Amino acid sequence: MASSRRRHHHFFTHGRWLIPAITVASIFLLLFFFLSILAPSPNGNRIFLLPHRDSSGENDDAEDSPLPVPAKERVSKRDMWSSRNSNLFYGCSDASKKFRKAQDITHPNRYLSIVTSGGLNQQRTGITDAVVAARILNATLVVPKLDKSSYWKDSSVFSDIFDVDWFIKYLANDVSVVKELPLRKGQIWLPYRMRVPRKCSDSCYIHRVLPVLKKKHAVQIMKFDYRLANSLDTDLQKLRCRVNYHAVKFTDPILRMGEKLVHRMRMKSKHFIALHLRFEPDMLAFSGCYYGGGDKEREELGKIRKKWKTLPESHPDKARRHGRCPMTPEEVGLMLRSLGYSEDVHIYVASGETYGGNETLTPLKTLFPNFYTKDTLASKDELAPFSAFSSRMAALDFIVCDESDVFVANNHGNMAKILAGRRRYFGHKPTIRPNGRKLFRVFLNKNYMSHKEFVYRINKYQKGFMGEPKEVSPTWGVFHENPYSCICEKVDNSTQGEVSNSTSRVETFTRVTKTTDYDPDTPDDPEVDVLLSD
């Protein structure tokens, strides 16, 4: 018994020194663990893809360790090539019975003319809104004039890009449209020029424009982009959809060339992704973001940024936190691989000159070797009628992106918005919008997480950004992007065979999931908007 007590006494005598030692060691281990988490990336400010350069412009020898991505890995049970429950929704933009015919309401001596602003897709929004504005004013619309003096300096007129006869004929019951102002007393009639504020409501047009129109009889509104309120009554919203999704049609030469590109993609693979990369120097300069290229990058993009005098001082870190920076080609590729798209998937890239050239594109091409553009699918001779005109080239990309099985928008510009709305209207084809606010941190810390965790986080943060029905509320986004008044839901099995564009179904958007990580607002500065056009 005494021996047992001595053994216990010996254990506690020596153990009282052992316990503090273990405690101190544990504290040091915990401190080391937390410091390793809080430590900055070994690559410093090289957040994304472009090679890090010092002030002299030389490449840093240190390279990011690439994140291994298996060729094929099923990360979820979702269908990657179609939207869930999309068969329960359809576009419905027919006018109601109370919407009177144009010939019954149009005043004979009242003409509205507009001049669009920006590139192809920004001009498209202006054309759509101009029809609705003419309807509000009970005026005849003169075929819109396209912007020829902005960033792209495209000399095309309306009939070079859009089928003007189809436009006039399709809208005959909604708005009276003429190609030119009629002569006045045998002479050319010059309309009175004026401006309207952005997001002008129907009452705004009645109070600001109508009195002038009654007096001058012909009014031309300049810089007509986003000059109509986002929210209008249902019949006017449906008119917007009829214009945008039915009346505005590309000319036959553009359609034929676009169909050739789509056919050539389909010949290569049953499914394909279209990516609007938008990683051109002008877009990066506008965004005010920084991609780790040192003084050379800051100087190059800074010079471009000075072209837009009204742009505020850039804050790269803030822009990145708010999801306003386009992802690099490598990041887009890693996101798509994490969402389950394997390396054998075919990708069509709609883009102009990529900043950093082939060096920047190489990681994306490595992840997806089946990489195509209109320049690789068509010969120079085939593209010759379009290549000198930026809007016509953009129209070809628009057609391929619209017809793709999956569309990926790497920015929040006008093309991305219009295509997102169009793809909702025509069956909710998958449209991936990167959740920039959340994905930024995933890519920033990708070297500190396992591949499994990386894939999990990408999929988690992309929920609500995949183009599924009801993933957004009616109050989210501009109407061109979220045409909620024109999307109807089939309410029972008896409606399965119903034709689209019917107004007999109740619009039901009560069960929605709001996505608050995306800022859809359009800048209030017309000069700034030019950069977001394509």
Domain contains 433? yes
pTM (two decimals): 0.79
On whether both 284 and 152 belong to a single domain, the answer is: no
Secondary structure class of 178 (helix, strand, coil): strand
Q: Give the lowest-confidence range in 37-51, 66-80, 369-383, 467-481.
A: 37-51
Q: Which of 251, 281, 309 is the endpoint of a domain?
A: 251
CB atoms within 10 A of CB 184: 12
On whether both 243 and 264 belong to a single domain, the answer is: no
On whether both 389 and 429 belong to a single domain, the answer is: yes
Q: What sections of 112-251 are H helices per DSSP?
A: 120-136, 158-161, 164-170, 202-208, 210-216, 234-242
Q: Give the lowest-confidence range in 90-104, 202-216, 463-477.
A: 463-477
Report d(CA 469, CA 464) in Å as an integer: 9
On whether both 270 and 163 belong to a single domain, the answer is: no
Q: Are strands 487-489 and 89-91 parallel, antiparallel or unpaired?
A: antiparallel
Q: What is the C-alpha R_g of the chain?
A: 28
Q: Is the pLDDT of residue 50 over 80?
A: no
How many domains does the structure of the chain reveal? Answer: 2
pLDDT tens-digit profile of 297-319? Answer: 888 888 878 777 777 777 777 77
On whether both 146 and 158 belong to a single domain, the answer is: yes
Nearest 10 degrees: Cα torsion 332, 340, 418, 263 = 100
Domain contains 491? no
The CA-to-CA distance between both ends of the chain, in Å, stands at 90
H/E run at residue 318: helix 316-321
Q: Is the pLDDT of residue 42 over 70?
A: no
On whether both 304 and 193 belong to a single domain, the answer is: no
On whether both 238 and 274 belong to a single domain, the answer is: no
On whether both 267 and 359 belong to a single domain, the answer is: yes
Domain contains 280? yes
Domain contains 12? no
Contacts of 347 (CB under 8 A, 6+ apart): 272, 273, 274, 275, 368, 370, 371, 372
Domain contains 192? yes
On whether both 344 and 230 belong to a single domain, the answer is: no
Secondary structure class of 197 (helix, strand, coil): coil
Q: Which of 251, 284, 315 is the endpoint of a domain?
A: 251
pLDDT tens-digit profile of 249-270? Answer: 999 999 999 999 999 999 999 9
Q: Which of 460, 486, 512 is the endpoint of a domain?
A: 486
On whether both 281 and 189 belong to a single domain, the answer is: no
Report d(CA 135, CA 188) in Å as an integer: 24
Question: At 350, phi and psi to the nearest 5?
Answer: -95, 110
Domain contains 217? yes
Domain contains 116? yes
356 within 8 A of 362, measured Cβ to Cβ: no
Q: Which two tokens stand for residue 24?
A: 């101190």
Instruction: Tell me the residue range of the domain where 349 lies.
Output: 253-486
Report d(CA 146, CA 164) in Å as an integer: 13
Helices 380-387, 252-268: crossing angle, 10 deg rounding: 140
Secondary structure class of 274 (helix, strand, coil): strand
Q: Is the pLDDT of residue 230 over 50?
A: yes
CATH number, domain with residue 218:
3.40.50
Q: What pLDDT is recorded for position 54?
A: 34
On whether both 244 and 264 belong to a single domain, the answer is: no
Domain contains 150? yes
CA quadruple 515, 518, 522, 524: dihedral positive or negative? positive
On whether both 263 and 220 belong to a single domain, the answer is: no
Contacts of 20 (CB under 8 A, 6+ apart): none
